[in-house]
Chain A
Amino acid sequence: MDQLFKDQFQGAQTPVDADAMWSAVASQLPPEESKGYAMFSLIGLMLSLLLLALWFWPQEKTETTDAQELATTQVLPPSLSDTKAEAIVEIAHTLPQKPTPPAHQATLPIFTKEDLQAQKAAWTPFGKDEFEATSTDEAQEGDMGSTSELGTVSAFQALRRLSSTDITPFEHQEQSLLWAPDPDWSRCSDRRSWGVGFFIETYAFGGYPLITNALNADQNIDYSNFLTLWNQGESAVSTFAGGFMLGLETRGGVSLSAGLEYQQIQNRLNREQTIIERITVYDEMAYYFLDSNNNRVYVADSVTTTRTYTRSVQAAKTHTLINLPVLLGYHNQVGNFRYGIVAGVNIHLQNEFTGKVLDPSGQIIDANTGTSTAVYRTTMDLSFMGGLDFGYMTNDWLELYLSPRFRFQPGSWLNANHPLESTMQLVGLQAGLRMHL
């Protein structure tokens, strides 16, 4: 008989008005969510941070041997025509500007033997008194484009004059000269001179979820009926997360970082069920009759009775999330101690769950991600997070920190058609290592 019913009903189809059905169904379907743009933006942000990190990575100078250095170093003869007495004064004011090479630099003079002799003579302190001049203008009057003795000697003469009169001791020079930043045209290999550093961070977070339940305002729910279906609760157990961050920080203490995080949230489902069951049992004393002596004679038989009992259900439920945290921070350092504040968003790339939950009608069901009876949203979008940072620099680059954090999820974790709106906030403590590179 079972087979007869199975054959007749399995795969049986009843014609329906498909157009009418579709119009009714389509009106209740939510508009398609486009997550492509957000996803590409995130990938772009991560790539940008990675490229910036590589750009700011300190480049170590490779040591070269003398032979290599000789082979690769282009030795240019000094151009005496560029050496002017007033040039030193100008340098103090025009240091940040790239000097314009003289127009005649392309045709540098080739020093003759006589030139070298003249230079030697010029450097002799008391050897050539006849070369003394009264002003540097005289040096400029020489033919700078040639190798004439006059030009050469005038320049050195000017230098000698400066050495005795114009050059002030180093410690008395202008602060602007001492602390001038690298000019734009600097070829200095230390690019951090821009004032931006790079850091890598790894951390672990442990905390406690706070669950808030409320009736779903979008659904017309009879409250008394709801209470009879939902005489149960879901209590929080724990949450933990671990991950890493890559970030940039300015000398002013402002930082921007992004990373990847694994997170678990564990809750417990509690419910007391009242079950009324009608059962048939075999009883040795099902009923009795009175015999002639007025004694009870019991007769065995099957008896139908009602059994009422309650059962308490407790089941674990675990959410497993993959997150992409993006944080903005501000830190200050006093001695070896650092303190600061961080805030940002945690983008949930994935939210999967396992365990027992209650479906919208109040039934305890297995709700694993991917089943048709899933109660929780798999698309959590993003949550907000923030906290205070307290760190200690063990050396120039390694920081150990502790940070009380708060994570706020604005949306409900339950599906939109659920009679409840359930939000979950997490509070906890984060500990980590931060390497400032």
Chain B
Amino acid sequence: MSVAQRYLGSSAQASDIVQESMIRIFHHLSQLEVREEHTFKAWMARITSREAIRWRKKQGRFIFQEELSPDHFAPTLPQDVTFQREELQKMLMQLPEGYRMVFNLYVIEEYSHKEIAELLEITPSASRSQLSRARAKLQALMAQKKVYEKVS
């Protein structure tokens, strides 16, 4: 569920995706050779993320924004800052969809740019570009959050 929420945000959509993923998992369970639990979890997470992307594609073509905003030059975060998962989740949801997809796939799912390019039908350079912008935007959001906390 957490994987689906990272991609889609909405709890109702995420629930549908988890349900579809479970059906897909059961269909292909016999083809899986799992010796350790964490391998199985990773496999499930991978299926869920692909299912989320597939579902999103069915809704229409992705829009990969190439906005050049001041966020691109976001400040570097101090090392001692900490964030809760819920806070990070909210920040992810504030990202444009293309940024979020690429960031999730690259940073958390550990796909390569080549794999992301095939999955999202973009070029590897576009994937790199989206990732760097996502990082910049997140850094900006995190910095804003900390500044706001200090002020208040």
A contact residues vs B (CB 8 Å cutoff): 1-2, 4-6, 8-16, 21, 24-25, 28-29, 273, 275-280, 302, 304, 359-361, 363-365, 369-374, 378, 415, 417
Q: Are A6 and B107 in contact (CB under 8 A)?
A: yes
Q: Known interface pairs A280-B129, A359-B54. Does A8 touch B5 (Cβ–Cβ under 8 Å)?
A: no
Task: Determine the chain B residues whose CB is within 8 A of the CB of A277 once the complex forms.
Answer: 64, 122-123, 126
Q: Are A363 and B54 in contact (CB under 8 A)?
A: yes
Q: Are B88 and A5 in contact (CB under 8 A)?
A: yes
Which residue of B1, B22, B77, B108 is within 8 Å of A9 (Cβ)? Answer: B108
Q: Is the interface of B mostly helix, strand, loop or mixed?
A: helix
B contact residues vs A (CB 8 Å cutoff): 1-2, 5-6, 15, 18-19, 22-28, 31-32, 38, 41, 43, 46-47, 50, 54, 57-58, 61, 64-66, 68, 77, 83-85, 88, 103, 107-108, 118-119, 121-123, 125-126, 129, 135, 138-139, 142
Which residue of B2, B38, B41, B125 is within 8 Å of A14 (Cβ)? Answer: B2
Q: Known interface pairs A12-B2, A14-B5, A25-B22. Does A372 touch B43 (Cβ–Cβ under 8 Å)?
A: yes
A-B contact count (CB 8 A): 105
Task: Determine the chain B residues whose CB is within 8 A of the CB of A359 once the complex forms.
Answer: 54
Q: Are B46 and A8 in contact (CB under 8 A)?
A: no
Can you add 11 more A-B contacts, CB < 8 Å, to A14-B2, A277-B126? A1-B77, A12-B2, A16-B1, A16-B18, A25-B23, A273-B121, A275-B122, A361-B58, A372-B25, A372-B31, A417-B27
A352 → B minimal CB distance (Å): 11
Q: Are B135 and A1 in contact (CB under 8 A)?
A: yes
Q: Are B23 and A5 in contact (CB under 8 A)?
A: no
Closest to A373 in B: B50
A338 → B minimal CB distance (Å): 45
Closest to A360 in B: B54
A178 → B minimal CB distance (Å): 65
Task: Determine the chain B residues whose CB is within 8 A of the CB of A21 once the complex forms.
Answer: 15, 18-19, 22
Task: Determine the chain A residues whose CB is within 8 A of the CB of B23 once the complex forms.
Answer: 25, 28-29
Question: In the complex the two chains form, what is the Cα distance from A75 to B57 in whole Å?
Answer: 94
Question: In the complex the two chains form, what is the Cα distance from A11 to B61 in whole Å?
Answer: 29
